[in-house]
Amino acid sequence: MKRSNEFGSLPLRVHSFLAGVPLRTLHCVELPGGRAGMTLPEISAIAGFSDQGEMEVGPVTKALFWLRSMIGRILRWEDAEELIVSHTWLTRLSAEERARSLVTPGKVEGISRVLYCFEREMLAEIINRTVHCFWVMAAEETASGYELWMAVYVKKLNWFTPIYMALITPMLKWIIYPSMMKGVKRRWERAFPVGSAEQSDAGLIWRK
């Protein structure tokens, strides 16, 4: 709860933009070092969450990604252009927010569409035939480096959404998200080497 309260107190647009959408997952990872004044695009590129970087995960997570992709192709879950057009929240952006975004709103990155990307906050959405998912990345500069927050919100799209989330949540919680966050730590430490492996593990903070 404390971590949720900390996240809720950050001056982020997402709190009002996604008001009423359930927060499913929240993680915070400590990133010691780095350069002063880094923007979120710079941080996310190092972490592996951009076109310039490659997300680093373990073999089990890679296998789960492959399995989900295969099932999605067979069942045509990603063949949902009409849902994207009718459900996207791009239309909720103001002209000022569109102009302020460092990434063109609507840009496709992997399976996501970026809604906005500000200096220290990015929001993207994933729409397919199973869910309407939003994921947020936010960075806060600290005395020792940065805190990188990762939040996932899920909006019910149809009758299948609760069933789908019930099936995949254990894998997300215990395998996929921890693997992703550890990969972020490894990539960051290669870019900005500090401390030891033991200190690295101490930097991971979990919520849900």
Mean pLDDT of the chain: 88
Give the pLDDT confidence score for residue 208 in this predicted structure: 43
Residue 148 inside a domain? The answer is yes
pLDDT digits (tens, 9 = 90+) for 3-44: 788 999 999 999 999 999 999 999 999 999 999 999 999 998
Residue 74 inside a domain? The answer is yes
Contact 154, 133 (CB under 8 A): yes
Give the pLDDT confidence score for residue 47 in this predicted structure: 87
Residue 87 inside a domain? The answer is yes
Residue 21 inside a domain? The answer is no
pLDDT of 161 over the 80 cut: yes
Give the pLDDT confidence score for residue 50 in this predicted structure: 64
pLDDT of 2 over the 60 cut: no
Contact 47, 187 (CB under 8 A): yes
Q: Rounded mean pLDDT of 56-60? A: 87
Q: Which domain holds residue 192?
A: 2-10+26-207
CB burial of 24-46 (b: ≥16 within 10 Å; e: otherwise) equals bbbbbbbbbebeeebebbebbbb
pLDDT band at 146 (very low <50, low <70, confident <90, very high): very high
pLDDT digits (tens, 9 = 90+) for 73-118: 999 999 889 999 999 999 999 999 999 999 999 999 888 999 999 9
Indicate the SS3 state at residue 186: helix
Contact 147, 140 (CB under 8 A): yes
Q: Which pTM does this prediction carry?
A: 0.87
Residue 144 inside a domain? The answer is yes
pLDDT digits (tens, 9 = 90+) for 163-172: 999 999 999 9
Q: How far is CA 96 from CA 14, 85, 99, 175, in A?
A: 15, 22, 5, 39
pLDDT band at 53 (very low <50, low <70, confident <90, very high): low
Contact 181, 27 (CB under 8 A): yes
Least confident of 44-53, 62-71, 96-105: 44-53
Contact 14, 136 (CB under 8 A): yes
C-alpha 91/C-alpha 83 separation (Å) is 14
Residue 99 inside a domain? The answer is yes
Residue 71 inside a domain? The answer is yes
pLDDT digits (tens, 9 = 90+) for 192-202: 986 544 344 44
Strand partners, 140: 147
Domains in the chain, number: 1
Give the pLDDT confidence score for residue 193 in this predicted structure: 87
Residue 115 inside a domain? The answer is yes
Give the pLDDT confidence score for residue 185 in this predicted structure: 92
- At 73, list the tokens: 């192709």
